[in-house]
Structure 1
């Protein structure tokens, strides 16, 4: 790993600076902690100029230019079956090689003593998971805002799947609400690239056979059964997230796990087939209040809703070849948004 550290040396941040920023990882700086996977802190880091890290000459090796930023500090446990040094450097390599407005920006990292820490841009409105778990007020996320978040995540996945340089592609493998942050403007930022897979150009069948990794409520069943990983595996996970945003609950909520051990994905697919999905829609959306405190024609526009439900249903198809590409998903979600915006305009003109 020495070669990795040397190559990425300009991104290294000292553990002492991170401890100082977080008051030695104090709970007062903690913003999330996920089942032993990692703990997230928000802090002001007085050691790094995010905009131009090499702007000052003559610093000691490992020193960053003086500056300060509110950042997110992601601290991984030193001993974990799911996340080790390999995953840590995979995430750094991925985030340092890709720029996209809907992919979180890497500011730096620390691998010192037994610590593995990533430092990324701040997502001041938290993570989507916090809204689905009711840690934050879900009413903030009106339908139009939810649609925009979905489109932004879809744009990031389309970029990874189709728009990388040298025709390579990246499969994320862990799309879920834990890994979708929301910045101060409610722009979605995807994160959590430790399990991502790089596929070389002209990969036959655009697939790779690899041991399955993922969360049970989000993992592509075909990939889990066969080890065949494709872009459509991300599409399945994203489809589950679409249904979470529609229903206002996490995929592994007990209400869904009672019906199917895999949670929301198969439950929503069955409800679509039976024509009962509308019964599962987040009640908050049904009498949605706009920013000026008037009812938005009883929530989402029907055409918007049905377009959204239809593409979400296609995303969670049981087999990979039945699922749409992210290019198609983006177009359909944009169509759903245009129906909603059109209704809102008519309401205002009326």
Structure 2
């Protein structure tokens, strides 16, 4: 009813597995579970807001497995930087997930256009990475005291941005729950990846999925945000068929990482114009680049934990905000920095 029988009017996107719809929907108020006790269905409190409906195509058992995996994962988590599941439906051939509507687009969209990336200051880019890092820490160590979750599909297309540019992780179809009393890895050989540029090479080779596999994928996203382009952009493929990661590792090791940083950030860094809202601090850029490089180490045992990554990202933000605070002070007093 909410989509007028899945009318094209409400359709917003589609791929080989799903179709997405956006619509207004009245649903039960999950924020007030105590008020539901002893009441009939018609008496339950409701909320009316915009939602996204993810409709899975009725294909085969594999697609059904993806649906129930995502349903289980989203039912198990609650975090500010992870998309919220509102409801679901399994009826006849229909398999639907109803999730909160996030106002802005996927990070992937902005990386596809260098001009659109200009709207992201360095501080905003840092905060996006911090949001994702916090969500991954939650999945890796804070879901509960008996298990953790490996997302297993981190890439720029799995990160949505809201109206305040806050990031939320979506798409949990390939996620894996691991119990703490098991060995810290799971055999999980996959043949399909939405972006093979983000795949942990050790996982791709051995099938051993670990939390460090998410760390690698996140490191690729960090370099994408730093450079303002997709990991598979032809600019990088000209240098290495494996894309951005291999180019970035080489550039970082020989001290020329600035060669591939988003030109907008380099322009801001080099300017002697101290606007209170622009400019990328070099110490912040280096701290960010260093930990991104550690994340994309070839082997899992050489990568940091997400807690270490978050600590370095927050350090990079301190460098950036300290510089901005100084600039604001000087700017407000009419001073010129040499």
Superposition TM-score tier, normalisation by shorter sequence = 0.7 to 0.9
Which residue is 1:9 aligned to? none
Q: Deviations over 1:79-101 (max 9, x none)?
A: 279x6111211111111111111
Which residue is 2:187 aligned to? 209
Q: Structure 2 matches for 1:103-252, cutoff 5 A? A: 103-134=82-113, 137-204=116-183, 206-212=184-190, 214=193, 215-252=195-232
SS in 2 for 1:334: helix
Contact kept? 1:287, 1:296, Cα under 8 Å? no
CA distance in 1: counterparts of 2:9 and 2:256, whole angstroms: 44
Mapped pair 1:255 → 2:226: no
Q: Name the CA shift for 1:203/1:233 in 2 (closer, same or farther; >3 Å).
A: same
Contact kept? 2:114, 2:229, Cα under 8 Å? no
Deviation (angstroms), 1:245 = 0.5
Deviation (angstroms), 1:111 = 2.5
Deviation (angstroms), 1:166 = 2.4
Q: Deviations over 1:221-249 (max 9, x none)?
A: 00110111111000000000001111111
Contact kept? 2:212, 2:303, Cα under 8 Å? yes
Q: Name the CA shift for 1:39/1:263 in 2 (closer, same or farther; >3 Å).
A: farther
CA distance in 1: counterparts of 2:320 and 2:9, whole angstroms: 40
Deviation (angstroms), 1:50 = 5.0
**Which ranges in structure 1 are unaligned for 5 or more consecutive residues?**
1-19
Deviation (angstroms), 1:259 = 3.0
Counterpart selection for 1:315 from 285, 291, 295: 295
Which residue is 2:3 aligned to? 22
Q: Relative to structure 2, which stretch is displaced further, 193-202 or 131-140? A: 131-140
CA distance in 1: counterparts of 2:294 and 2:60, whole angstroms: 35
Which residue is 1:10 aligned to? none
Which residue is 1:59 aligned to? 41
Deviation (angstroms), 1:265 = 1.8
Tell me the C-alpha RMSD between the 2 structures. Answer: 2.6
Q: Relative to structure 2, which stretch is displaced further, 317-326 or 176-185? A: 176-185
**TM-score normalized with structure 1 length:** 0.84
Contact kept? 1:235, 1:325, Cα under 8 Å? yes
SS in 2 for 1:313: helix
Q: Structure 2 matches for 1:285-300, cutoff 5 A? A: 285-288=265-268, 295=275, 299-300=279-280
SS in 2 for 1:78: coil
Q: Relative to structure 2, which stretch is displaced further, 101-110 or 333-342? A: 101-110
CA distance in 2: counterparts of 1:327 and 1:276, whole angstroms: 27
Q: Name the CA shift for 1:139/1:31 in 2 (closer, same or farther; >3 Å).
A: farther
Q: Name the CA shift for 1:72/1:304 in 2 (closer, same or farther; >3 Å).
A: same
Deviation (angstroms), 1:44 = 1.2
Deviation (angstroms), 1:298 = 6.9
Counterpart selection for 1:328 from 308, 313, 327: 308
**TM-score normalized with structure 2 length:** 0.87
